[in-house]
Structure 1
Amino acid sequence: MIQPHGLILAGGRATRMGGGDKGRLLLGNRSLIARVIATLAPQVDRLALNANGDATRWSDLRLPVLPDTAPDHPGPLAGVLAGLDWAAGLGCPHIVTAAADTPFLPPDLVPRLLAAAGPSGLALAATQEGAKTWPQPTFGLWPTALRDDLRAALATGTRKILHWTDRHDPGLAVFATTPWDPFFNVNTPEDLVRAEAMA
């Protein structure tokens, strides 16, 4: 199987953090996004960043910067679509996505998503707490074959990831939450304090 390309989703507005690029926040001596890159890059063939606004602010990362192609920044699905179009242009049949503000990303995210792929080729990460399974929809394996379906869904107002993925019978790669949640994301200053304690 062709190794997926990777896409880091950094297109949000970080309103709960007061704006700016959350991925640039420091955790210890490294930024959140540097930690994500260090974990995801070895698992994929190529890596790109989904971000809006002035792309030159990311030039130090030496990654392709893919802005949303859907108007009005409709959320992470628009970033996924930008990544799917990029990968399709390079002849890659799928991408794996991860959020820029998740410093404890699993080092086996990609192989486990590939193993969990559903009939459409789609898979989402999930966590389990007791008998309950919680999808982590910004961490997924996305086939480029579904990009036109996603484009049409965005054009007709679909915004929530699970509203779209549920139509395509995704597989789930379930990860443990001990000793911590590997998909813990930094949304608020309080979350950053928690992440510092976890690190």
Structure 2
Amino acid sequence: MINDCTGVILAGGRSTRYGGRNKALVPFGEGRLMDAVLRPMTEVFGEKILIVSQEAGLYGDFGFPVVADVLPLPGAATGIHAGLFHAKTDIIFVVACDMPFIRPELIRLVLSHMHPPLLALFPCHGKNHLEPLCAAYHRDGLPVLESHILEGKGKVQWIFTGEQKGLVPEILLREADEGLESFININSPEDARKAGEALMMFP
């Protein structure tokens, strides 16, 4: 178990592709999508988990603190900012609530490469595809993150530059997750149906 890092789950809001439903709460496997994400996260972080959501009342039965965005702007960067702001550790590992196949081994691999002076560390695979919602961030990056959010500049993966940003290459990622299933997103009921069937066939 990792004690010097907090696991942060971005619960987001309602999904248009899900008919306005909250993805984190849709049925998945033997529970809900959030349950599937929480299992590997609790294996790595134990009780050091935060759920970021503007609808705290929806997540009370999961048993973890729910924190709200600090900045009054939508977007993933705002959720990451909230995680860093509320966490009691310098480092957080962020994952989206719609990534039910995230593997503990991959989380540990990414965190093992999170060293100063890095402020953000992203898995990188394919043609320079970065995974900002399956990544590690350092509290010292809060000012950089906040200024870019308020100025409306760029995606999360391009906010940090130079020595601030690190990448974990695909060859290492596949040592922890050969098929890179950790990065699969559930974006629609059809995605959930197919993933649920795969889950039953290959638990």
TM-score by length of 1: 0.86
Q: How does 1:8-157 map to 2 (within 5 A)?
A: 8-44=9-45, 46-53=48-55, 55-73=56-74, 75-87=75-87, 90=88, 92-117=89-114, 119-128=117-126, 132-157=127-152
Question: Which sections of structure 1, spanning at least 5 residues, go unmatched?
Answer: none
d(CA) in 2 for partners of 1:105, 1:2: 19
Question: Which sections of structure 2, spanning at least 5 residues, go unmatched?
Answer: none
Instruction: Look up the equivalent residue of 1:151 and give its one-letter code.
Output: E
d(CA) in 2 for partners of 1:114, 1:179: 19
CA contact (8 A) 1:116 1:173 kept: no
Pairs aligned (count):
191
CA contact (8 A) 1:113 1:173 kept: no
TM-score by length of 2: 0.84
Change (3 A) 1:172 1:108: same
Superimposed CA distance per residue, residues 21-62 of structure 1 (whole angstroms, 9 cap, x where no aligned partner): 201111221211111111011212500101113x11211012
Change (3 A) 1:11 1:159: farther
d(CA) in 2 for partners of 1:178, 1:16: 29
Instruction: Look up the equivalent residue of 2:35 and give its one-letter code.
Output: A
CA contact (8 A) 2:119 2:141 kept: no
SS at match of 2:8: strand
* Aligned residue in 2 for 1:195: 195
Runs of 4+ with deviation above 3 angstroms: 176-180
Give the drift of 1:179.
4.4
SS at match of 1:98: strand
d(CA) in 1 for partners of 2:112, 2:29: 33
| Identity value in percent | 25
